[in-house]
Amino acid sequence: MIDYKLHIPGPVNVSDETYQAMSTPVMGHRSADFVELYQACQPNLQKLFQTSDPVFLSTSSAWGVMEGAIRNLCQKKVLCCMCGAFSDKWLDVARRAGKDADPLQVEWGQNIDPDELKSKLSSGEYDVVTLVHNETSCGMMNPLEDIMKVLREFPEVISVIDTVSSFSVVPIPKDDWGIDVILTGSQKALAMPPGLALFSVSERAFERAQKTEGRGYYFDFLEFRSNHAKGMTPSTPVIPLIHALRYTLDKIFTEGVENRQKRHAELNQMVHQWVAKKGFELLPKPEFASKSLTCVRNNLEIDMAGFVTTLRDQKKISIDGGYGKIKGKTFRISNMGDETVDSMNHLLTNMDEVLTEFISS
């Protein structure tokens, strides 16, 4: 049993009520009871995704759909917008799926520049673009609205947008902005256990998929669509997580989507103020800082591994000591999911107490 609270940027802390929702007895996935559960989630999902397209449930983590999107959509070449660990990895995944793929690389923590994207796409080589909206490894949120404006100028290019750590944190109007494929996962901003990915696909993207060979079976968008019409998933889904989803959606709409977004912005601001007060700096430029987590530069050069371990062992709170090549040089704090002013104050007070040991030594 873990005896500490998760404040890492995923998986995030799961509430007792969510776990309780998951303990509903399993049913047949072709039964009327399942169809009722699946269809009950749809209206709220479509509202939350801001789309009139169906929202699909994939029993996989987000990477399943991220790889699947490439297999469904690319006939020519993928352009991968890369600005951190997850977006960098997508290039590797596209190539492993046997596709031609190019990087549009910026330094970790920098944003993708819409003008640079535009000049890349003007070559006419690409038919798919991958973009991570909120680069969780760097706490950087890309200017998605401006990026989508550029992408709309290239109707032959299908956009695949990862919103794993930003979904429900900020408004992402899929239909209005013309996003073709939007995807998220259960264990980040939605604060459910891992194992479920959620995604929605535009009509344009379905048309592309129809003419794309080698889609495979498990992530075939057309399989998802034909099963969706019956209120079902292609294969046996992770039913307990769909119960958790129904509960989570009810909770989100009871709070109100705008209130939820306001809460995240406020809690994120609390962390930013703490960072400034301590003399730390954000990794990204402040205007591109994420609203769901904070990635802090270790400019005070404290013993990061020691700090993270002490916070966990003494205060029973787990934050992250940096991802991949910026491990130790940064640390990350999540304010996703069910966090409140009280829970964030608790976190920041405890970080204060532990930090004094590390700054004076």
Ligand X SMILES: *Cc1c(COP(=O)(O)O)cnc(C)c1O
**Residues 17-43: b if buried by 16+ CB within 10 A, e if exposed:** ebeebbeeeeeebeeeebeebbebbee
**Residue 183 CB contacts under 8 Å (≥ 6 apart), including other chains:** 62, 65, 66, 69, 160, 161, 162, 163, 164, 197, 198, 199, 200
Whether the CA torsion 135, 136, 138, 144 is positive or negative: it is positive
Q: Does 263 bind ligand X (CB under 6 A)?
A: no
Binding to ligand X (CB under 6 A) within 8-27 occurs at: 10
Considering beta carbons, is residue 90 or 224 the nearer one to ligand X? 90
Q: Which range binds ligand X by CB under 6 A, 59-67, 150-158, 214-222, 240-248?
A: 59-67
Q: In angstroms, give the least distance from the CB of 136 to ligand X.
A: 3
Binding to ligand X (CB under 6 A) within 191-220 occurs at: 194
Q: In angstroms, give the least distance from the CB of 69 to ligand X.
A: 12
Cα(339)–Cα(293) distance, integer angstroms: 11
Considering beta carbons, is residue 61 or 75 the nearer one to ligand X? 61
Burial class of residue 154 (count of CB atoms within 10 Å of its CB; 0-12, 13-18, 19+): middle
**322 alpha carbon, distance to own chain's centre:** 17
**67 alpha carbon, distance to own chain's centre:** 15
Q: In angstroms, give the least distance from the CB of 204 to ligand X.
A: 23
Considering beta carbons, is residue 10 or 234 the nearer one to ligand X? 10
Considering beta carbons, is residue 167 or 206 the nearer one to ligand X? 167
Considering beta carbons, is residue 66 or 252 the nearer one to ligand X? 66
Considering beta carbons, is residue 136 or 202 the nearer one to ligand X? 136
Q: Does 185 bind ligand X (CB under 6 A)?
A: yes
Binding to ligand X (CB under 6 A) within 292-351 occurs at: none
Q: Which range binds ligand X by CB under 6 A, 60-68, 109-117, 211-219, 332-340?
A: 60-68
Considering beta carbons, is residue 79 or 196 the nearer one to ligand X? 196
Q: Which of the 8 DSSP states describes residue 28?
A: -
Cα(294)–Cα(170) distance, integer angstroms: 15
Binding to ligand X (CB under 6 A) within 82-111 occurs at: 86
Of these, 62, 151, 182, 205, which contacts ligand X (CB under 6 A)? 62
Considering beta carbons, is residue 10 or 109 the nearer one to ligand X? 10
**Residue 277 CB contacts under 8 Å (≥ 6 apart), including other chains:** none
Q: Does 162 bind ligand X (CB under 6 A)?
A: yes
φ, ψ of residue 283 to 5 degrees: the values are -70, -55
Q: Which range binds ligand X by CB under 6 A, 55-63, 173-181, 207-215, 242-250?
A: 55-63
Q: Which range binds ligand X by CB under 6 A, 147-155, 161-169, 172-180, 235-243?
A: 161-169
CB atoms within 10 A of CB 247: 19
Whether the CA torsion 170, 175, 178, 179 is positive or negative: it is positive
Nearest to 325 by CA among 271, 283, 358, 286: 283
Give the ranges where the chain is alpha helix by DSSP (H): 16-22, 32-49, 62-73, 85-96, 114-121, 144-152, 174-177, 203-210, 221-228, 239-255, 257-278, 304-315, 341-360
Q: Does 132 bind ligand X (CB under 6 A)?
A: yes
Q: Which of the 8 DSSP states describes residue 324?
A: G
Q: In angstroms, give the least distance from the CB of 27 to ligand X.
A: 25
Q: Does 128 bind ligand X (CB under 6 A)?
A: no
Of these, 188, 246, 291, 312, which contacts ligand X (CB under 6 A)? 188
* Structure-token pair, residue 94: 């596209």
Residues that bind ligand X (CB under 6 A): 10, 61-63, 86, 132, 136, 162, 164-165, 185, 188, 194
